[in-house]
C-alpha cells in the first residue's frame, strides 16, 4: 500500500497591531512580532498608561463617575477609557437608589389607588367610596368611614357626602333612614306621620308630635303658641 504525504500546516501570524487586537496604551506604539506584539514608548516620552477624558487626565487604573450621568462608571485601563452602567448591589447599604430603583425597599411596600393611577407609600391614608383606606407594606386595608352620631329626629345623607346631617323638615329626610312610613294616631284618630307636629284638639297651647320610636304622640304645654 503506497503512502501519501500530508501537507504541513504552518502557523499564520496575526498582525495584532494592524487589526487592533492589542492592549497597548494610547501613548505607546504597537510593534508586531512573530507570534505576538510589543508596546513601545516613543523616544523622549514617559508612557504612563494615563487617559484623557473630557479634557482631564485620568491616571491608569483610576475609576470615576460621569458628571452628566451619575449611574455610569468609567475607568482608565492602560490608556483606554472604559465606561459601563453601574452594577447594582442591593446588599450594599450605600447603593444609589436613583440608579438602582430595584434595590429600593419602599417600592415593594407601595400601594396603588383603586383608580389605578395614584401611588401611595406605606402608612398613607385616603378616603374612597366612604371608606377609610390605608396602605400598609404594599397591602390596602379599608374600613367604613367613622361618622359622628347625629342626635336629631330627622337626618339626610347629602349626595357626594359620607355622613348624615340633621334636617328639621321630615319631607327632606331620607325615608329609609328615618322610617317616615311609620305613623301615629292623634286624639281624633287622625293619622300623623313620624315627626309631624300639631296642636292638640280642643286646646290652644298643647303641642303634640309623633315619635316613631315610641309609636305614640307626645304632647306638652307650650307658652310660645
Question: Domain of 174?
Answer: 161-221
Q: Band the pLDDT of 100: cuts 50, 70, 90.
A: confident
Return the residue matching grid coordinates 487586537: 21
**Model confidence pLDDT, tens digit, residues 203-217:** 877 778 777 655 555
CATH number of the structural domain spanning residue 135: 2.10.70
Q: Band the pLDDT of 221: cuts 50, 70, 90.
A: low
20 assigned to some structural domain: yes
The answer to whether residues 181 and 136 belong to one domain is no
Question: What percent of the chain has pLDDT above 90?
Answer: 1
99 assigned to some structural domain: no
125 assigned to some structural domain: yes
Q: Band the pLDDT of 108: cuts 50, 70, 90.
A: low
Q: What pLDDT is recorded for position 203?
A: 81
d(CA 75, CA 59): 9
CB of 219 closer than 8 Å to CB of 207? yes
Dihedral, CA of residue 163, residue 167, residue 172 and residue 173, to nearest 10: 50
- Residue 37 reports pLDDT greater than 50: yes
Q: What pLDDT is recorded for position 174?
A: 60
Cβ count near 204 (within 10 Å): 8
Q: What pLDDT is recorded for position 1?
A: 47
Q: Mean pLDDT of all residues in the chain? A: 77
Q: What pLDDT is recorded for position 191?
A: 79
pTM beyond 0.85: no
Look up residue 152 and give its three cell numbers. Answer: 336629631
d(CA 194, CA 22): 100
Domains of the chain: total: 3
Look up residue 31 and give its three cell numbers. Answer: 510593534
Alpha helices (H) in 112-187, listed in sequence order: 175-178
d(CA 145, CA 127): 8
The answer to whether residues 22 and 67 belong to one domain is yes
Amino acid at each position: 500500500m503506497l503512502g501519501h504525504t500530508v501537507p504541513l500546516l504552518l502557523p499564520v501570524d496575526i498582525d495584532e497591531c494592524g487589526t487592533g487586537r492589542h492592549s497597548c496604551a494610547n501613548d505607546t506604539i504597537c510593534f508586531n512580532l512573530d507570534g505576538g506584539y510589543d508596546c513601545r514608548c516613543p523616544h523622549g516620552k514617559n508612557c504612563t498608561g494615563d487617559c484623557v477624558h473630557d479634557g482631564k487626565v485620568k491616571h491608569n487604573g483610576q475609576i470615576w463617575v460621569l458628571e452628566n450621568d451619575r449611574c455610569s462608571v468609567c475607568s482608565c485601563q492602560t490608556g483606554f477609557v472604559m465606561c459601563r452602567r453601574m452594577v447594582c448591589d442591593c446588599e450594599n447599604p450605600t447603593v444609589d437608589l436613583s440608579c438602582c430603583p430595584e434595590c429600593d425597599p419602599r417600592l415593594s411596600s407601595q400601594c396603588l389607588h383603586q383608580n389605578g393611577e395614584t401611588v401611595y407609600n406605606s402608612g398613607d391614608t385616603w378616603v374612597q367610596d366612604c371608606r377609610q383606606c390605608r396602605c400598609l407594606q404594599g397591602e390596602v386595608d379599608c374600613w367604613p368611614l367613622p361618622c359622628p352620631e347625629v342626635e336629631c329626629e330627622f337626618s339626610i345623607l347629602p349626595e357626594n357626602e359620607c355622613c348624615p346631617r340633621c334636617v328639621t323638615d321630615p319631607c327632606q329626610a331620607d325615608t329609609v333612614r328615618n322610617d317616615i312610613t311609620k305613623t301615629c294616631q292623634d286624639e281624633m284618630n287622625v293619622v300623623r306621620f313620624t315627626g309631624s307636629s300639631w296642636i292638640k284638639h280642643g286646646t290652644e297651647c298643647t303641642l303634640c308630635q309623633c315619635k316613631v320610636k315610641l309609636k305614640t304622640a307626645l304632647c306638652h304645654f307650650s307658652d310660645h303658641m
